[in-house]
């Protein structure tokens, strides 16, 4: 495998990174020592207090915490003090509605300010906060609110009909708060009330409940290949991991303006748009409108964004847009770029260097891990296509199916030693499912990977995605990375298709750049390109051109859906699907 390395000279750094010496820190770090970064009282803490309230009583009190922008350039600003008061009003509202410790409170909203301070208020109260994507339909809503037995949901008038459609199946849901209505009414067994009216009745003072580190703070439902989505529970202790990883991987600091493009319906939007980022004191930008390259570039320029955290799909879409953004926009404020959601191919990294003078830094983690576990760091050279190295305090390895650790350049299961602070506490009401993640002292991620001689980790694919063709094992990510190197291709998804001769053949689904016509000749050119750039056995024997590839809202291409559609099989849960 030919590896391109992006070496960082002294001229690369606008400021010294927070994590200056990775190797030394990795040798000496302990989570116990790191606890001094977070405020504990007699061994107890509150994740929302550490993100907002402690900053509302220190020197950051009047600092802008949230720059919010909606459609048509509607703009709002909130200081740390503003968010502390609004979240306290929401916590008091929950108290008056008899929603207490451990009760589930869900937010079914687009990226509006009420989502952010409401989430914080629920966590301050000691309730379990949950989020749902605003694109969810009635069945996805029922699955989550029903399984969690949520007592209260916050939504808007546009989304309310979807909740009402399944309300009869949600007996525990007794209160629905609307962010954009002042009219109260009764719908079946539930009260539909104005959030604004209810908040106006509440005090803006609330002492965040001190919680045991193991007490649940928030939950997210994540979809699997089969069955209903599972509720992943994270505890208040997760704030420690999210704080340290935001500091080291995202390089966040006091004076930064930071933009994470994730929706809080996804774990990244909670860990690094609400908790870990604000606990580091950074000012966050939230944009609630639709994707548009010019708007995104304007946001970077107008807000002076220093650190930008986005998804590979968005990067590829920006790269495919017409024109040279450097000729129209000023990107001089940018210091650090990072990417998450799916593995980052080398080509988008090269595009970042060409366009912004900076590479995107890939990192790996999952909903279940609650925070970044493996990453490329500002102070380390980047091996393009690599996941990077484990976060200090994380022991990662490659193990076989019996749990035995493997050496460098041996493919196996990507595994983590349990015990990091943001590791999921449990799977809601499914203890056996939770236990199934662990094998002989390892958390088994479900991803296949290998390490190289320098300790960098390399993603191959999900365990059920790896293709075996003609006796050779081929990782779909490797083929996809080679495909997007072709000048005509924006993005690609690769599956193994059953074949009586070879066991499986590689089939590629590709999206072409604007103006490129799909032809049989182009298919042959792509096949030849892959043979030349990757391997003779790893080229796609079948290629299908598609206008869009199915993706989750985190931008991850849903290979299982491509495979199910190809083979005429059930496609499973699609509630997190989004088409860009």
Q: Is residue 5 part of a domain?
A: no
Quick check: 576 pLDDT over 90? no
Per-chain mean pLDDT for the chain: 93
Quick check: 569 pLDDT over 80? no
Quick check: 565 pLDDT over 80? yes
Q: Is residue 90 part of a domain?
A: yes
Determine phi and psi for 276, rounding to 5 degrees.
Answer: -65, -35
pLDDT tens digits, residue range 454-465?
999 999 877 777
**For tokens 């859906």, what's the residue?**
561
Cα–Cα dist 542/529, whole Å: 14
pLDDT tens digits, residue range 12-46?
998 999 999 999 999 999 999 999 999 999 999 99
Cα–Cα dist 267/554, whole Å: 9
pLDDT tens digits, residue range 340-394?
987 888 999 999 999 999 999 999 999 999 999 999 999 999 999 999 999 999 9
Q: Which of 404, 420, 451 is the last residue of a domain?
A: 451
Q: Is residue 403 part of a domain?
A: yes
**For residues 246 and 277, is the Cβ–Cβ distance under 8 A?**
yes
What is the per-residue pLDDT for 547? 92
**For residues 76 and 270, is the Cβ–Cβ distance under 8 A?**
no
Cα–Cα dist 307/345, whole Å: 20
Beginning with the edge strand found earlier in the chain, give each strand of the sheet holding 542-545 in spatial order.
489-499, 503-512, 542-545
Average pLDDT score over residue span 217-245: 89
Residue 196, SS3 per DSSP: helix
The region that residue 505 occupies, defined by phi over 0 for left and psi between -120 and 50 for alpha, beta otherwise, is: beta
**For residues 143 and 229, is the Cβ–Cβ distance under 8 A?**
yes
Q: Angle, nearest 10°, between helix axes 520-533 and 476-483? A: 120
How many CB atoms lie under 10 A from the CB of residue 42?
6
One domain, residues 180 and 232:
yes
One domain, residues 211 and 328:
yes
Nearest residue to 359 (alpha-carbon basis) of 333, 341, 377, 371: 377
The pLDDT-based confidence of 58 (bands split at 50, 70, 90) is very high
Residue 471 sits in a domain of what CATH number?
Answer: 3.30.300.30
**For residues 275 and 371, is the Cβ–Cβ distance under 8 A?**
no
CA distances, 350 to each of 333, 344, 383, 426, 499 (Å): 19, 11, 12, 39, 36
Q: Quick one: tokens of 12?
A: 């690369």
Average pLDDT score over residue span 472-484: 81
**For tokens 């089939």, what's the residue?**
507
With residue 363 as reference, give the H or E element that holds it.
Answer: strand 360-364
- In terms of average pLDDT, the best of 94-98, 479-483, 492-496 is 94-98
One domain, residues 408 and 489:
no
**For residues 445 and 403, is the Cβ–Cβ distance under 8 A?**
no
Q: Is residue 501 part of a domain?
A: yes
* The dihedral sign for the CA sequence 549, 228, 160, 203: negative
Q: Is residue 28 part of a domain?
A: no
Q: Is residue 490 part of a domain?
A: yes
One domain, residues 363 and 312:
yes
One domain, residues 48 and 147:
yes
Cα–Cα dist 231/220, whole Å: 6
Quick check: 264 pLDDT over 90? yes
The pLDDT-based confidence of 395 (bands split at 50, 70, 90) is very high
Cα–Cα dist 447/109, whole Å: 31
CA 299 to chain centre: 20
Cα–Cα dist 303/283, whole Å: 10
Question: Cβ neighbours of residue 304 under 8 Å, at least 6 residues apart?
Answer: 257, 333
Average pLDDT score over residue span 558-570: 84
Quick check: 119 pLDDT over 90? yes
Q: Strand pairing partners for 496?
A: 506
**For residues 417 and 403, is the Cβ–Cβ distance under 8 A?**
no
What is the per-residue pLDDT for 572? 65
**For residues 474 and 432, is the Cβ–Cβ distance under 8 A?**
no
Q: Which of 451, 486, 516 is the last residue of a domain?
A: 451
What is the per-residue pLDDT for 316? 84
Low-confidence winner among 91-105, 135-149, 223-237, 300-314 (lowest mean pLDDT):
223-237
Cα–Cα dist 207/196, whole Å: 21
What is the per-residue pLDDT for 575? 66
| Domain count along the chain | 2
Q: Is residue 318 part of a domain?
A: yes
Q: 8 or 532: which carries more pLDDT confidence?
A: 8
One domain, residues 431 and 484:
no
One domain, residues 444 and 485:
no
Query: pTM of whole model > 0.95?
Result: no
One domain, residues 376 and 510:
no
Low-confidence winner among 67-76, 117-126, 142-151, 477-486 (lowest mean pLDDT):
477-486
One domain, residues 242 and 382:
yes
Q: Is residue 459 part of a domain?
A: no
Nearest residue to 136 (alpha-carbon basis) of 161, 172, 173, 101: 161
Cα–Cα dist 299/571, whole Å: 37
End-to-end, the C-alpha distance of the chain in Å comes to 32
What is the per-residue pLDDT for 472? 66
Quick check: 580 pLDDT over 60? no
CA distances, 320 to each of 236, 489, 526, 551 (Å): 41, 9, 18, 17
What is the per-residue pLDDT for 498? 86
Q: Strand pairing partners for 284?
A: 66, 258
pLDDT tens digits, residue range 189-221?
999 999 999 999 999 999 999 999 999 999 999
Q: What percent of the chain has pLDDT over 70?
A: 96
What is the per-residue pLDDT for 577? 60
One domain, residues 417 and 484:
no
One domain, residues 470 and 413:
no
Residue 232 sits in a domain of what CATH number?
Answer: 3.40.50.12780
List the beta strands (DSSP E) in 181-288. Answer: 185-187, 190-194, 216-222, 230-235, 257-260, 283-287
Quick check: 579 pLDDT over 60? no
Question: Cβ neighbours of residue 570 under 8 Å, at least 6 residues apart?
Answer: 564
CA 225 to chain centre: 19
Q: Angle, nearest 10°, between helix axes 312-320 and 346-356? A: 60
Quick check: 574 pLDDT over 70? no
Q: Which of 416, 451, 486 is the last residue of a domain?
A: 451
Cα–Cα dist 96/202, whole Å: 9
Low-confidence winner among 95-109, 431-445, 481-495 (lowest mean pLDDT):
481-495
The pLDDT-based confidence of 468 (bands split at 50, 70, 90) is confident
Average pLDDT score over residue span 430-435: 96
One domain, residues 539 and 394:
no
Q: Between vectors from CA 23 to CA 19 and to CA 26, what angle results, nearest 5°?
A: 80
The boundaries of the domain holding residue 322 are 10-20+33-451
């Amino acid at each position: 495998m030919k590896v391109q390395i992006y070496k960082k000279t002294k001229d690369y750094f606008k400021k010294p990174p927070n994590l200056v010496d990775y190797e030394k820190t990795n040798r000496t770090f302990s989570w116990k020592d790191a606890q001094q970064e977070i405020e504990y009282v007699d061994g107890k803490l509150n994740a929302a207090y550490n993100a907002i309230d402690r900053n509302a009583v220190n020197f950051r009190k009047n600092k802008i915490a949230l720059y919010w922008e909606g459609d048509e350039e509607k703009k709002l600003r909130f200081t740390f003090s503003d968010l502390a008061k609004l979240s306290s009003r929401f916590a008091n509202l929950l108290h008056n509605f008899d929603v207490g410790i451990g009760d589930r409170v869900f937010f079914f909203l687009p990226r509006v300010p009420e989502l952010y301070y409401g989430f914080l208020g629920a966590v301050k109260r000691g309730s379990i906060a949950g989020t749902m994507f605003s694109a969810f339909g009635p069945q996805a809503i029922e699955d989550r609110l029903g399984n969690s037995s949520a007592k209260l949901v916050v939504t808007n008038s546009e989304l309310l009909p979807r909740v009402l459609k399944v309300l009869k199946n949600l007996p525990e849901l007794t209160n629905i708060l609307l962010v954009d209505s002042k009219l109260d009414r009764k719908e079946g067994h539930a009260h539909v009330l104005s959030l604004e009216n209810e908040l106006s009745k509440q005090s803006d003072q609330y002492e965040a409940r001190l919680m045991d580190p193991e007490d649940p703070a928030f939950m997210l439902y994540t979809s699997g290949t089969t069955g209903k989505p599972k509720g992943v529970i994270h505890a208040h202790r997760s704030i420690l991991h999210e704080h340290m990883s935001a500091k080291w991987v995202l390089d966040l600091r006091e004076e930064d303006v930071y933009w994470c493009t994730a929706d809080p319906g996804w774990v990244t939007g909670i860990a690094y748009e609400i908790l870990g980022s604000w606990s580091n004191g950074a000012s966050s930008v939230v944009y609630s409108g639709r994707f548009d390259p010019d708007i995104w570039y304007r946001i970077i320029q107008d807000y002076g964004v220093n650190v930008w955290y986005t998804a590979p799909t968005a990067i590829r879409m920006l790269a495919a847009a017409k024109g040279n953004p450097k000729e129209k926009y000023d990107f001089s404020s940018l210091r650090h770029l990072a990417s998450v959601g799916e593995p980052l191919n080398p080509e988008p990294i090269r595009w970042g260097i060409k366009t912004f003078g900076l590479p995107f830094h890939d990192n790996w983690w999952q909903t279940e891990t609650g925070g970044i576990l493996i990453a490329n760091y500002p102070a380390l050279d980047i091996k393009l296509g690599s996941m990077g190295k484990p976060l200090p305090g994380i022991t990662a390895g490659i193990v076989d199916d019996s749990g035995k650790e493997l050496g460098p350049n041996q493919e196996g299961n990507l595994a983590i030693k349990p015990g990091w602070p943001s590791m999921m506490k449990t799977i809601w009401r499914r203890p056996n499912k939770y236990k199934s993640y662990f094998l002989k002292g390892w958390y088994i991620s479900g991803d296949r990977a290998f390490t190289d001689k320098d300790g960098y980790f390399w993603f191959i694919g999900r365990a059920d995605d790896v293709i075996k063709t003609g006796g050779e094992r081929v990782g779909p990510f490797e083929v996809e990375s080679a495909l997007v190197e072709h000048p005509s291709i924006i993005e690609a998804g690769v599956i193994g298709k059953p074949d009586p001769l070879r066991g499986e053949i590689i089939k590629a689904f590709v999206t072409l750049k604007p103006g490129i016509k799909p032809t049989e000749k182009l298919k042959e050119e792509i096949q030849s390109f892959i043979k030349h750039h990757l391997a003779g056995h790893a080229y796609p024997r079948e290629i299908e051109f598609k206008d869009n590839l199915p993706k989750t809202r985190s931008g991850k291409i849903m290979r299982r859906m491509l495979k199910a559609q190809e083979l005429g099989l059930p496609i499973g849960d699609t509630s997190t699907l989004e088409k860009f």
